[in-house]
Amino acid sequence: MRIVLLGAPGSGKGTQAQRLAERTGIPQISTGDLLRAAVARGTELGIKAKAAMDEGRLVDDALVLGMIRERLAEPDTRAGFILDGFPRNLVQAAALDGLLAELKQPLDAVVQFEVDRAELVKRISGRRTCADCACVFNVLTSPPTGAAAICPRTGAPHRLIQRADDNEATVAERLRVYEEKTRPLIAFYQSRGLLRAIDAEGQVDAVTERLGVALGLAPRPAAAARKGAAAKRPPRRKPARPARRRRPAARAEKRRPAPKKVPARAARKKRAGGPRTRKPPARRRARR
């Protein structure tokens, strides 16, 4: 499966890409994560990318394309990949087309995440990332609780940090850049018959379900699906209950041994109440 997740900053691409990668074993390739790692390591690429990232602008196409070309050459991408945050403009989309044609690995689908602007701002302001395992949470809508509060890397509670570019001023610029440069990709992929749009608002689990349906994945195991749907489903499914209860009762009826088990006294009473003219059983008559 070779897919692109397309959506504005804060639309949940990263969270869903992580989940999809866990579910399918296919690697998530986030250009934002790769660039942040380069910045943190202080590499040449990181130094060049940092200013644009801090201001909410796109990093130079040549830098990003070089990074993607290298990443797609790694062996774990042979089974497929989930591109998250790439391509971001028409130049990158055309370059990706060319690269994938070279590799004879065309895209299977592009999923567009639809989220209202006010919701995007709310999500970005609540977004936090674990400094150790890079899991993404939202302290407003999906804070880490219970077992999920423990970092799988350290075994201690997650160390949540806010991304440097998740501040109000930069967010406004990133949303503007999305509208101007990235939104045209919707028509680009629509014209190639690859685009599938999903409603990416609501519970994270519900979005995961919608993404699975859009990609034609087999339904998740019952427990996970139940957990995901619980928020949207009406509290009870009344019609199913009586049907399920009646069945065991009917089986018990069948199994019950017939008249012999009627208590002797009740049976005598029943016989006494019956017609007196009734003939005695054939066996008795024969003995007489």
Q: Is the dihedral of CA 17, 19, 22, 23 positive or negative?
A: negative
* 83 near ligand AMP, judged by CB under 6 A: no
Closest CA to 197 of 120, 117, 114: 114
By beta-carbon proximity to ligand AMP, the closer residue of 5 and 209 is 5
Restricting to residues 150-189, name those near ligand AMP by CB under 6 A: 165, 174
Identify which range of 28-36, 201-209, 219-227, 256-264 contacts ligand AMP by CB under 6 A: 28-36
- Of the candidates 153, 161, 123, the one whose C-alpha atom is nearest the C-alpha of residue 16 is 123
Residue 56 sits in the site that holds ligand AMP (CB under 6 A):
yes
Are 84 and 19 in contact by the 8 Å Cβ rule? The answer is: no
If residue 251 lies in a helix (H) or strand (E), which one and from where to where? helix 240-255
Residues paired with 4 in a beta bridge: 83, 110
Active-site residue flag, 261: no
Q: Is 174 tagged catalytic? A: yes
12 lines the binding site for ligand AMP (CB under 6 A): no
Is 46 among the residues that bind ligand AMP (CB under 6 A)?
no
Nearer residue to ligand AMP within complex by CB, 28 or 209: 28
Buried (b) or exposed (e) across 32-70, using 16+ Cβ within 10 A? Answer: bbbbbebbeeeeebbebbbeebeebebbeeebbbebbee
Is 265 a known active-site residue? Answer: no
Indicate whether 31 belongs to the interface with ligand AMP (CB under 6 A). yes
Q: One-letter amino acid identity for 217?
A: L
Q: Binding ligand AMP by CB under 6 A: which of 6, 8, 64, 171?
A: 64
Is 13 a catalytic site residue? yes
The residue ranges that bind ligand AMP (CB under 6 A) are 9, 31-32, 35, 52-53, 56-59, 64, 85-86, 88, 92, 165, 174
